[in-house]
Amino acid sequence: MGKDTDTGELIQGTLEMLILKALMRGPLHGYAVAEWIQETSQQVLKVEEGALYPALHRLELRGLLSAKWGASENNRRAKFYQLTAEGRKRLDAESQRWARLSAAVAFVMQAP
């Protein structure tokens, strides 16, 4: 209860943005989302399952993602997530915000 609440809060917003980004190129199931983030971040960002699925479901509830059951690459039934129009819009907004924020942090950190 206590442990993952204060760090989770911080990660949650970012994690949601990363999930939206992962789904930008097409529908993926939860495992693939986690893998993509881990690989693309060159193994730096490791997505915990305990945070991943609640985040996916929250995004689905809010209408940013839609979910569909389909067959996976190894022919098992899997739940695929897909960006909705709303989700796409959100991703754009989040990307811009992130770019501004990271640039700002970079300015500060690079100050002599």
Partner 1 sequence: MAPALHAFLLRLKAMFAKRRLDRDMAEELEFHQVLLREKLLRQGVPLAEVDAATSRTFGNSARWHERLRELWQFPALEHLLRDTAFSLRMLRKSPGFTSVAVLTLGLGVGANMAIFSLINGLLLRPLPVPHSEELVVLRMEEGGAEPEYSFCTPFFRGLETESEVFANVFAYNGDTLLVRDGSGNEQVNGMLVSGQFFQALQTPPLLGRYLTTEDDRRGGNPMGLAVVISEHYWERRFNRDPGVVGKKLVIANTPFTVVGVMPKRFIGADPTQRPEIFAPLSADPIIDAPRNHIDAGTHAWWLTVVARLKPGVTLIQANAALEKVSGAVLHQTDDPAYMTGEERAHFHFAAESGSQGYAYARTLFRKPLLAMFSMCGGILLLACLNLASLSMARGGARERELATRLAMGASRSRLIHQLLVESLLIALAGTAAGLAAAPLVSRSLAAMLMSGSALNTGVYLDTNLDLRAFGFAALIAVAATILIGLLPALQATTGNLSDQIKEGQYASLAHQRQRILPRLLLASEVGLALVLVIGAGLLSTSLVRLFKSGAGFDPKGLVNIAFSMDKQDLQGDALMRLYQEIGEGLSHQPGVENVSFEFIVPLSHRGWNGGYQAPGHSSQLIYMNSVGPGYFATMRIPLQYGREFRWSDTNAAGLKIILNESAAQLLFPGQNALGGQVVYSRVKTSYEVVGVVGNSKYRDMRTLAPPIGYVPIMQDTQPKPSLTAVVRVDGPQTPLAGAARALAARLAPTIPPPVFTTVNEVLDRAMSAERLMALLSIYFAACALLVTGIGLYGTLAYATARRTSEIGIRMALGADRARVMGMVFRQNAAIAFTGAVAGLIAALLATRALSSFLYGTSTRDPLVLAASVLALGAVASAASLLPALRAARIEPMAAIRCE
Decide if residue 98 touches partner 1 (CB under 8 A).
no
For partner 1 (CB under 8 A), the number of binding residues is 24
List helix spans (H) across the chain: 3-22, 30-40, 49-61, 85-110
Q: Which two tokens stand for residue 91?
A: 């991703």
Decide if residue 78 touches partner 1 (CB under 8 A).
yes
Residues between 18 and 37 with contacts to partner 1, criterion CB under 8 A: 29-31, 34
Select the span of 13-21, 45-53, 96-104 touching partner 1 (CB under 8 A): 45-53
CB within 8 Å of 48: residues ≥ 6 apart: none
